[in-house]
Structure 1
């Protein structure tokens, strides 16, 4: 193969490769969601909250936010979401170095949900111990 043919084939390969890279990935619009989290009637001092659906997980689009003094604000894609709340502390027990203060029914086995829309943007969660 002649040098100019090799260069031509190389340029065509680069052009085809860059065409595939120029397609824009569409991210869903996110909606500002706010709310309060209490546990046992008291504001949760600190923790994290996430809003997720199976599709969000598959797309790597789970929305999370910190909880501070019982309040949070997050940008969340619209739709029905499972809500997961954690508040992890470090313990002095070497066998269990970290402990989640939130019961499993609000995280690993969460039953909390939120139907996020432009009209529905405030979600308060009152947890029991």
Structure 2
């Protein structure tokens, strides 16, 4: 029978937890954080959509490493746990939401309704939104306007 001391067991447990993404870590080795918040559009909670956090530039103008992460917005609320959260540091924010247009197209014999992005480009394709993600837990609320 293998005998492991209590201190060795504790050290191995700590290593396993760190490697599994606890303490804000991630599989890519970058520090990530918990983030929750709300998104409103023209004063109303955004019914449904998505929000992306895209690593931006640091204070020296260097690109922050890491992949963009996305959360689903439901009734104006979104959240991401640390293991799937945004990279700590400056992030560009993109918010997307679509609605039905009442127009249809045929794709390989299947009639499909055309969806339209209704959030202005300044919040997605040409986003001016930024958020500084801190280590730990973050709350980031965004109030978007048509104009």
TM-score, length of structure 1 as denominator length: 0.70
- Counterpart of 2:126 in structure 1 is 109
CA distance in structure 1 between the aligned counterparts of 2:137 and 2:34, rounded to whole angstroms = 10
TM-score, length of structure 2 as denominator length: 0.62
Is the 8 Å Cα contact of residues 46 and 76 (structure 2) preserved in structure 1?
Answer: yes
Could you list the structure 1 runs, at least 4 aligned residues long, displaced by more than 6 angstroms after superposition.
none
CA distance in structure 1 between the aligned counterparts of 2:33 and 2:141, rounded to whole angstroms = 16
1:87 to 89, 93, 97: 97
Residues 1:36 and 2:19 are matched in the alignment = no
Q: 1:8-40 deviations in whole A, cap 9, x for unaligned?
A: xxxxxxxxxxxxxxxxx7431220111110011
CA distance in structure 1 between the aligned counterparts of 2:55 and 2:103, rounded to whole angstroms = 35
> Displacement of 1:101 after TM fit?
1.7
> Displacement of 1:88 after TM fit?
1.5
- RMSD between superposed Cα atoms in Å: 2.2
Q: Which has the larger radius of gyration?
A: 1
Q: Per residue, is there more helix in 1 or in 2?
A: 1
**Structure 1 counterpart SS, 2:36:** strand
Give the count of matched residue pairs: 103
CA separation of 1:26/1:87 partners in 2, compared to 1, >3 Å: closer, same or farther?
A: closer
**Structure 1 counterpart SS, 2:139:** coil
